Homo-oligomer: A and B are copies of this chain.
C-alpha cells in the first residue's frame, strides 16, 4: 500500500497542484509587501530569510512535478507570477518544459531568457524537439544551436525544419531502434540489454536491410512471446503501416486512431527509414485539430494566452470582428432598401430578426454536419446529392412547422393574417437557402482544397442574415404594402 500512496502525486488533479503553487506565491507576496512597508535594517534581514525560505519550499514543490504539470501551471499563472515560477525551474528542465507549454506562453518565457540560457535549455533536447522550438527562437540563437550539434543531428534538425507544421516530417522523431532481419530474437534481446534504455513509446523495433530500407517491424510483444531461437525475418510483420514525411498529419492521426498504433516508421520515397511517429504527438495533433476548429469557428486567429496583453488580444480578434462588421453592414444596407416599407408597417422591423436568426441557426447545424462528414471522408459525389436532398427536406419541414407557429403568433400579435403568411413563407425560403448554402459552402471550400470549417460559420450567417432580411422584407413589400 505504501507504494501506491506515493502514486498520489503524479495523478493529483491539476487544480490541486495549481492551488498549492498559488498559495505559496501568495505567501511569498505577503512577505514582500511586509518587507516593503517596514524598512528597519534588522527587520529586513529577518523578512529576507522568511522570503527565501518560502521560495525554497516552492522550488522543492516544483522540482517534484512532472514537466507537463509545470507547463500547465505556468500557463495558468498571470505574467509576473509565471516568471517568478519560471525562474525557480532548474535550468536542466527548461527545455522539456518549453516544449510542453502552449505557443503563446512559450513566447512569453523565451522573451525573458537571454541567448546563453536558451542555448543551455536547448542542449537537453533532441533534434526533432529542437525543430519545434526553433521557429520561436531568434535567428542568431538558431545559428549557434546548429554549430553545437554534431553533423547527423544538424542534418536531422534541418530536415525537420524543412517540413510544414501540418506535415509528418515536422512531427517525426529520430529515436528508432533498428535491427537486421537475419539475426535471431536471442541476438536482438542481447542487443537491447546493451542499450540500457529504449526511446519512449517504443512498442516495436524497425527491421532494415543494408541500404537502410525498411523491410518490416518487430513488435516488442512478438519479441517476448516467440522462441528466442527464431529469426527476425521469420517473426516480423512485413506489412507494417508506414508513413511518408510529406503526408498530412491530420490524416496520419486518423490512421493511428483507426489502427490503434503506438508508433510507426516514416520512410522516404525509396523506402528508406528516416524517422518515427509516436502516439503522443498524434494525440497532440488530434487535440490541436479540435482546438483549432473551435477557435476558428469563434473567429479567433490563434490560440491566445489567457493572460495575454489587451493589445495582443485585440490583434488576435480584430480580423474576424472586421469581417463580421462588413457582413453586418451589408445586411444593414439590405434593410435600408426597404426603409419605405418598414415606415409603413413597423411590425416588419420587429419580425425580421426572427427570420434571419433561425436561418443562421439552422444553416450552422447543416454546416457542422457536413464539415464533420467531410473531415471523416464520408462524402462521395453520390452521397453529396443525397445529403443535399435530405437537408432540403429537413429545411422544408422545419420551415413549415416552425414558420407556421411563428406565422400564427405574428397574426395573433399584429392581427394581420397576411403578415403571418408572409412570415411563414419567408422563414421556409430562408431555411431552404440556409440548407443549400450549408451544403454548398463546405463542399466548395473542399473542392478548392481549403479548410471547410474555416470561416464557414461567418459565411453562412452572413448569407442567412442578408438573405433573410431580403426575402422577408421583399415579400412584405410586394404583398403587404
Question: Are B197 and A75 in contact (CB-based, < 8 A)?
Answer: no
A297 to B365, CA, bound (A): 9
Neighbouring B residues of A287 by C-beta, 8 Å: 257, 286, 290
Q: Digit string of A211-245 for contact with B (CB within 8 Å is 1, else 0)?
A: 00111100011011111000000000011111100
Q: How far is B387's CA from A155's CA once the two chains are assembled, in angstroms? A: 44
Contact of A306 among B11, B193, B331, B373 (CB under 8 A): B373
Alpha-carbon distance between A265 and B339 when the two chains are bound, in angstroms: 68
Residue of B nearest to A18 (CB): B380
Find out whether the CB atom of B238 lies under 8 angstroms from the CB atom of A6: yes
In the assembled complex, which residues on chain B have CB atoms less than 8 Å from the CB atom of A76? 373, 376-380, 383
Residue A428, interface by CB 8 Å: no
Asked if A304 and B339 make an inter-chain contact with CB atoms under 8 angstroms apart, the answer reads no
Residue-wise, chain A 361-381 has the 8 Å CB interface mask toward B (1 for contact) of 110110111101100111110
Q: What residues of chain B lie closer than 8 Å to A202, measured between beta carbons?
A: 221
Q: A314 touching B66 by the CB < 8 A rule? A: no
For residue A191, give the distance in angstroms from its CB to the closest CB of chain B: 10
How near does chain B come to A124, taking the closest CB pair, in angstroms?
17
How distant is A50 from chain B, measured CB to nearest CB, in Å?
22
Say yes or no for A480: interface residue by CB 8 A criterion: no
A 145-163 to B, binary, CB cutoff 8 A, 1 in contact else 0? 0000000000000000000
Whether A357 contacts B19 in the complex (CB less than 8 A), given A298-B365, A365-B317, comes out as no
B residues in contact with A329, CB < 8 Å = 354, 406, 409
A7 close to chain B: CB less than 8 A: yes
Contact B358 A193 (CB under 8 A): no
Q: Bound complex: CA of A451 vs CA of B348, how far in Å?
A: 37
Measured in the bound complex, the distance between the Cα atoms of B26 and A380 in whole Å is 13
List residues of A (378-431) whose CB comes within 8 Å of B's CBs.
378-380, 382-383, 386-387, 390, 393-394, 397-398, 402, 405-406, 409
Complex contact B193–A394 (CB within 8 A): no
Instruction: Say yes or no: is A291 at the interface (Cβ < 8 Å to chain B).
Output: yes
Out of B197, B215, B394, name the residue touching A310 (CB < 8 Å).
B394
- In the complex the two chains form, what is the Cα distance from A314 to B350 in whole Å? 27
Q: CB-CB contacts of A318-357 with B at 8 A, as 1s and 0s?
A: 1011101101110111011001001100111111111011
Number of copies: 2
Contact of A189 with B by CB under 8 A: yes
Known interface pairs A4-B214, A11-B242, A324-B358; 13 further A-B residue pairs with C-beta atoms within 8 A, sorted by A's residue number: A6-B239, A7-B239, A7-B242, A13-B377, A289-B290, A293-B294, A298-B364, A306-B370, A306-B379, A336-B347, A336-B350, A339-B350, A348-B349
- The 3 tightest CB contacts between A and B, nearest first, are A290-B290, A298-B368, A68-B258
- A-B contacts, 22 of them at CB < 8 A, read A3-B215, A4-B213, A6-B238, A7-B241, A14-B254, A15-B377, A22-B382, A72-B376, A197-B221, A202-B221, A223-B224, A286-B286, A290-B294, A294-B372, A306-B387, A307-B387, A307-B390, A313-B390, A324-B358, A325-B354, A332-B351, A342-B346
Residues of A near any B CB (own CB < 8 A): 1, 3-4, 6-7, 9-11, 13-15, 18-19, 22, 66, 68-69, 72, 75-78, 189, 192-193, 195-198, 200-203, 213-216, 220-221, 223-227, 238-243, 251, 254-260, 262, 267, 271, 279-280, 282-284, 286-287, 289-291, 293-295, 297-300, 304, 306-308, 310, 313-314, 317-318, 320-322, 324-325, 327-329, 331-333, 335-336, 339, 342-343, 346-354, 356-358, 361-362, 364-365, 367-370, 372-373, 376-380, 382-383, 386-387, 390, 393-394, 397-398, 402, 405-406, 409, 465, 469
